[in-house]
């Protein structure tokens, strides 16, 4: 017999749902006995009782097991079971027993139902059900038990439909087909129209006098049909609910992605212009402490900080503070950092915007972003609005095809800046590398009327910046930041930060525990001249030439009074060079004397002179071309700009062709003399110090790189310690 297992959803909270095994026979028999409703069928007493109704040939041991859940009845509750029973056997609860006998003589059509209702073949419906397919033998035996039913039992051909869905479909199709013929009968089950149609079953049972043994099978069939219909509706509802849930989740995910993904969100904002999401940043952790080497700028901004801390204090006295401050300086000198520090010092919100953000291809978008930015800021005053790259929004260009709406954006910016009073506590800080490029209207009083220059740091500033960033890494005690600072003229704060970082990376790659001068020098050279070309195989002859060439520069620098001190000499190829000697000014030079310029020329000449002296005129190389460029430049400026030529006097001469041929040739003559004299001086020094020259070249060939101290040791004739 078939056993149905169903999960029982306990109504009381906290109870674990039980799994109750109900033999189908019991379920059906339960229909007969009012005392043994489905709920209590798991008791052994009732089982015994039901056994009586079980036909002899059914052995419970071989009962195939079906799960009610498979039929979509997993959530059948007690009340529902009652209803099921009531549906299947109306009046059952009133203890109506079917006692009449089964008459076969009435049956003349293919099935009983056809006889009564037309063409519905209840059992073929049953046969097409999955239940039948799973347990054809059992059901066939049930069907054959109904001997008076001219049931057409098919032993093979239950069209093996591939999927369960198809099967269910086909069942529903059959049911639907049947509906045309016997609408009320099937509809009763499908639509749970429990009234009249179910009475028909009852009536049927009574009128046909179905014998008790067959009633079981008959009702089994009925139950099957009912369950099938239930399963179908349940499944349909479930999948519908699931589909809706999936669609909803996908929709939510889509919206979330649209808002989170910056690219998408930018596009979204671009197309709608709804850019209201302007988030301030509280800059508590950035203070003036963090900005090094720009003391003047910090001092100028100090009063802005005071104002932001207490706007009323300033306006009470009638003083007017600028609304806008323009930070002007080369890239990476810390303009953004300074603006953040202003907000951080005053502990007010910081709104960051980049000018390029406002430069929109769409009408009104840039302007509306500016509007939103100022609205947010005013609502959170006192605060700082920082507009980086101000020139890209406030430039002078007017309606160029590349920036069709820039004028509109500038006008919006001007309107917003005019739109609030000085005591509202909103300070706008703009930054630019090209103040000349700004629209004049922007730098009028009442707008960006205060300019603060943020220059590249001087040697002291660079030392401070290097110390600041060195303190964030592990470095050796021997490191002297000042030496690096002296060798990094023109470096910005950002470049110095990068230098320290590169040195730390280099030390890590080399497996060192600390950063030493060596790594710092290395990264400085890398930034200045490009990476080392270790892989380049330079033959010994070229190496030797390079060693003498570089030593020549070093010797001249060492023995010339006004030359800068040597920092390093190397024959390691780097970037386009085969080697180099670096000299360090003691300080940033604001002015250079004639003697210093001449010394620089002499040092430049040192390389070629060395080649000539050691290898002979026939073996001089092209390696000195940049040295000559350098020396020629110095000589030229001395003559044409600095008034350092006696013959041409204190007069400047422009490069253009306005000069008379005589003047031009006089200038050339003077330059040539300066260069020749320089060359001779260099030759003299190298001839005098030929021994030192040779020692230094050999040391370079051995060690590749020598620092200032090592050069000194070699030139003093001492032996270098083996490294
Ligand atoms: N004076 C400085 N002191 C300390 N750190 C600095 C200094 N200048 C630059 N830096 C470092 O370099 C980084 C970049 O600097 P920042 O963005 O402020 O430069 P900027 O002048 O705004 O450049 P840009 O004009 O390209 O926007 C800073 O975050 C900081 O780490
Ligand atoms: Zn050279």
**Pocket-testing residue among 283, 336, 344, ligand 1, by greatest number of atoms within 8 A of Cβ:** 336
Nearest ligand 1 atom to alpha carbon 291: 3
String of b and e for 201-234 (b: at least 16 CB within 10 Å)?
bbebbeebebbeebbbbbbbbbbbbbbbbbbbbb
pLDDT digits (tens, 9 = 90+) for 299-347: 889 888 888 888 777 777 766 677 889 999 889 999 999 999 999 988 8
* In contact, 24 and 51? CB cutoff 8 Å: no
Ranking 222-236, 430-444, 533-547, 646-660 by mean pLDDT, the lowest is 222-236
Does residue 72 line the site of ligand 1, with CB under 6 A? Answer: no
User: What would the two tokens of residue 306 be?
Assistant: 């005071």
Highest mean pLDDT among 31-45, 245-259, 425-439, 555-569: 555-569
Element holding 428 (H helix, E strand):
strand 426-432
Sign of the dihedral defined by the CA atoms of residues 698, 701, 706, 710, in that order: negative
Does residue 291 line the site of ligand 1, with CB under 6 A? Answer: yes
For the chain, the distance separating the N- and C-terminal CA atoms, rounded to the nearest angstrom, is: 95
pLDDT at 421 over 60: yes
Centre of ligand 2 from the C-alpha of residue 55, in Å: 114
Find all residues with CB under 8 Å of 207, minimum gap 6, and list them. 100
Does residue 336 line the site of ligand 1, with CB under 6 A? Answer: yes
pLDDT at 17 over 60: no
Centre of ligand 1 from the C-alpha of residue 522, in Å: 22
Does residue 388 line the site of ligand 1, with CB under 6 A? Answer: yes
pLDDT score recorded for residue 548: 95
Ranking 12-21, 316-325, 541-550, 640-649 by mean pLDDT, the lowest is 12-21
Give ∠ CA 179-180-183 in degrees, rounded to 5: 50
pLDDT at 93 over 70: no
Centre of ligand 1 from the C-alpha of residue 97, in Å: 96
Nearest-angstrom CA–CA distance, 579 and 536:
13
Ligand 1, atom 29, lies closest to the CA of: 337
Ligand nearest to the CA of 545: 2
* 489 C-beta neighbours (distance < 10 Å), count: 14
Nearest ligand 1 atom to alpha carbon 457: 1
Does residue 332 line the site of ligand 1, with CB under 6 A? Answer: yes
pLDDT at 610 over 70: yes
pLDDT score recorded for residue 280: 66
Centre of ligand 2 from the C-alpha of residue 624, in Å: 5
Centre of ligand 2 from the C-alpha of residue 457, in Å: 29
Centre of ligand 2 from the C-alpha of residue 720, in Å: 24
**Pocket-testing residue among 286, 293, 297, 332, ligand 1, by greatest number of atoms within 8 A of Cβ:** 332
Using a 10 angstrom Cβ sphere, with 0-12 exposed, 13-18 middle and 19 or more buried, the burial of residue 715 is buried
pLDDT band, very low/low/confident/very high, at 712 (cuts 50, 70, 90): very high
Q: Which residues are catalytic?
A: 550
Residue 403 bridge partners (DSSP): 400
pLDDT at 704 over 90: no
Does residue 294 line the site of ligand 1, with CB under 6 A? Answer: yes
Q: What is the mean pLDDT of residues 696-722?
A: 88
Q: CA of 501: how far to CAs of 468, 515, 516, 528, in Å?
A: 12, 10, 13, 15
pLDDT at 515 over 80: yes
Which position has the higher pLDDT, 379 or 503? 503
Give ∠ CA 140-143-145 in degrees, rounded to 5: 110
Centre of ligand 2 from the C-alpha of residue 198, in Å: 111
User: What would the two tokens of residue 118 be?
Assistant: 């037309």
pLDDT at 29 over 70: no
Taking alpha carbons only, the member of 363, 682, 716 closest to residue 552 is 682
* In contact, 280 and 350? CB cutoff 8 Å: yes
Sign of the dihedral defined by the CA atoms of residues 84, 88, 91, 97, in that order: negative
Ranking 112-121, 192-201, 333-342, 515-524 by mean pLDDT, the lowest is 112-121
Can you say how many angstroms the Cα of residue 171 is from the centroid of all Cα atoms in its chain?
A: 52
Nearest-angstrom CA–CA distance, 368 and 336:
24
Nearest ligand 1 atom to alpha carbon 339: 18
Find tokens 């027993």 and name the residue. 97
Element holding 450 (H helix, E strand):
strand 448-453
Rounded to the nearest 5°, which phi and psi values hold at 114?
Answer: -65, -40
Ligand nearest to the CA of 386: 1
Taking alpha carbons only, the member of 384, 386, 373 closest to residue 277 is 373
Does residue 293 line the site of ligand 1, with CB under 6 A? Answer: yes
* In contact, 143 and 124? CB cutoff 8 Å: no
pLDDT band, very low/low/confident/very high, at 435 (cuts 50, 70, 90): confident
DSSP state for residue 421 in the 8-state scheme: -
DSSP state for residue 240 in the 8-state scheme: H
**Pocket-testing residue among 457, 493, 495, ligand 1, by greatest number of atoms within 8 A of Cβ:** 493
**Pocket-testing residue among 497, 499, 500, 502, ligand 1, by greatest number of atoms within 8 A of Cβ:** 497
pLDDT at 124 over 50: no
Ligand 1, atom 23, lies closest to the CA of: 332
Taking alpha carbons only, the member of 618, 552, 613, 543 closest to residue 581 is 552
Interface TM-score (ipTM) > 0.90: yes
Nearest-angstrom CA–CA distance, 693 and 176:
109
Using a 10 angstrom Cβ sphere, with 0-12 exposed, 13-18 middle and 19 or more buried, the burial of residue 682 is buried
* In contact, 424 and 378? CB cutoff 8 Å: yes
Centre of ligand 1 from the C-alpha of residue 254, in Å: 38
Taking alpha carbons only, the member of 455, 372, 381 closest to residue 424 is 381
Find tokens 């109750």 and name the residue. 20
What percentage of the chain has pLDDT greater than the value 90? 24
Strands 566-570 and 3-8: unpaired
How many separate helices (H) and strands (E) can be counted in the chain? 29, 12
Nearest ligand 1 atom to alpha carbon 461: 1
* In contact, 91 and 195? CB cutoff 8 Å: no
Please report the DSSP string for 640-697 in residue order: HTS---TTT-S----SSTTS-HHHHHHHHHHHHHHHHHHHHHHHHHHHHTHHHHHHHH
Please report the DSSP string for 111-170 in residue order: SHHHHHHSS--HHHHHHHSHHHHHSHHHHHHHHHH-TTS-----SS-S---SSHHHHHHH
Does residue 331 line the site of ligand 1, with CB under 6 A? Answer: yes
Does residue 495 line the site of ligand 1, with CB under 6 A? Answer: no
**Pocket-testing residue among 386, 494, 495, ligand 1, by greatest number of atoms within 8 A of Cβ:** 494
Nearest-angstrom CA–CA distance, 133 and 166:
13
pLDDT band, very low/low/confident/very high, at 412 (cuts 50, 70, 90): confident
Ligand 1, atom 24, lies closest to the CA of: 331
* In contact, 497 and 465? CB cutoff 8 Å: yes
* 642 C-beta neighbours (distance < 10 Å), count: 15
- pTM (predicted TM-score): 0.52
Q: What is the mean pLDDT of residues 624-642?
A: 91
Helix (H, G, I), strand (E, B) or coil at 717: coil
Nearest-angstrom CA–CA distance, 385 and 413:
12
Ranking 214-218, 323-327, 487-491, 543-547 by mean pLDDT, the lowest is 214-218
Does residue 334 line the site of ligand 1, with CB under 6 A? Answer: yes
Ligand 1, atom 27, lies closest to the CA of: 331
Find tokens 């000349």 and name the residue. 436
Ligand nearest to the CA of 682: 2
């Amino acid at each position: 017999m078939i056993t149905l297992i169903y999960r029982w959803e306990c109504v009381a909270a906290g109870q674990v749902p039980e799994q109750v095994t109900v033999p189908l026979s019991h379920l059906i028999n339960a229909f007969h006995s009012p005392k043994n409703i489905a709920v209590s069928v798991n008791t052994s007493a009732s089982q015994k009782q039901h056994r009586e109704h079980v036909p002899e040939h059914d052995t419970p041991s071989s009962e195939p097991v079906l799960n009610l859940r498979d039929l979509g009845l997993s959530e059948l509750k007690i009340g529902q079971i009652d209803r099921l029973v009531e549906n299947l056997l109306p009046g059952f609860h009133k203890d109506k027993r079917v006692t009449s006998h089964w008459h076969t003589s009435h049956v003349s059509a293919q099935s009983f139902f056809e006889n009564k209702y037309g063409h519905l073949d209840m059992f073929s419906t049953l046969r097409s059900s999955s239940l039948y397919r799973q347990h054809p033998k059992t059901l066939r035996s049930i069907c054959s038990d109904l001997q008076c039913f001219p049931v057409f039992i098919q032993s093979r051909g239950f069209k093996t439909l591939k999927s369960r869905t198809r099967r269910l479909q086909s069942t529903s199709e059959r049911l639907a087909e049947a509906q045309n013929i016997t609408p009320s009968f099937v509809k009763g089950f499908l639509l749970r129209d429990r009234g009249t149609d179910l009475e028909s079953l009852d009536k049927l049972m009574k009128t046909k006098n179905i014998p008790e043994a067959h009633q079981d099978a008959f009702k089994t069939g009925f139950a099957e049909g009912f369950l099938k219909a239930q399963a179908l509706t349940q499944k349909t509802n479930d999948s519908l609910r699931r589909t809706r849930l999936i669609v909803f989740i996908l929709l939510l995910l889509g919206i979330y992605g649209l808002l989170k993904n910056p690219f998408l969100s930018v596009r979204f904002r671009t197309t709608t212009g709804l850019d209201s999401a302007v988030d301030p940043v509280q800059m508590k952790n950035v203070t003036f402490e963090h900005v090094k080497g720009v003391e003047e700028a910090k001092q100028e901004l100090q009063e802005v900080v005071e104002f932001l801390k207490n706007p009323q204090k300033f306006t009470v006295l009638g003083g007017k503070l600028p609304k806008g401050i323009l930070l002007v300086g080369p890239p990476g000198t810390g303009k953004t950092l300074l603006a953040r520090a202003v907000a951080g010092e005053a502990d007010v919100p910081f709104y960051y915007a980049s000018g390029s953000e406002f430069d929109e291809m769409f009408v009104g978008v840039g302007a509306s972003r500016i509007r939103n930015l100022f609205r947010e800021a005013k609502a959170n005053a006192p605060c700082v609005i920082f507009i980086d790259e101000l020139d890209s929004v406030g430039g002078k260009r007017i309606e160029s095809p590349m920036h069709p709406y820039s004028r509109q954006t500038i006008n919006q910016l001007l309107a917003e800046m005019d739109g609030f009073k000085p005591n509202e506590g909103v300070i706008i800080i703009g930054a630019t590398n090209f103040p000349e490029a700004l629209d004049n209207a922007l730098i009028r009083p009442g707008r960006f009327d205060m300019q603060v220059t943020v220059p590249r740091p001087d040697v002291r500033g660079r030392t401070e910046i290097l110390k600041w960033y060195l303190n964030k890494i592990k470095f050796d005690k021997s490191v002297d930041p000042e030496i690096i600072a002296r060798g990094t003229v023109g470096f910005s704060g950002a470049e110095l930060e990068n230098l320290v970082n590169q040195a730390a990376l280099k030390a890590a790659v080399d497996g060192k525990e600390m950063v030493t001068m060596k790594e710092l020098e290395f990264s400085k050279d890398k930034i200045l001249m490009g990476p080392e070309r270790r892989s380049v195989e330079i033959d010994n002859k070229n190496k030797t030439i390079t060693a003498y060439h570089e030593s020549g520069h070093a010797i001249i620098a060492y023995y010339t009074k006004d030359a800068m001190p040597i920092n390093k000499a190397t024959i390691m190829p780097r970037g386009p060079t085969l080697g180099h000697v670096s000299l360090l000014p003691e300080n940033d030079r604001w002015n250079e004397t004639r003697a210093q310029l001449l010394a620089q020329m002499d040092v430049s000449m040192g390389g070629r002179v060395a080649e000539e002296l050691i290898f002979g005129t026939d073996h001089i190389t092209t390696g000195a071309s940049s040295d000559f460029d350098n020396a020629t430049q110095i000589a030229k400026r001395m003559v044409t700009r600095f008034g350092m030529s006696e013959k041409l006097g204190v007069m400047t001469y422009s490069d253009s062709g306005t000069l008379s041929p005589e003047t031009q040739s006089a200038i050339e003559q003077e330059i040539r003399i300066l260069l020749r004299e320089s060359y001779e001086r260099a030759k003299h020094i190298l001839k005098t110090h030929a021994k030192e020259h040779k020692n230094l070249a050999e040391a370079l060939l051995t060690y590749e790189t020598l620092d200032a101290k090592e050069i000194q040791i070699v030139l003093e004739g001492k032996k270098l310690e083996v490294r």
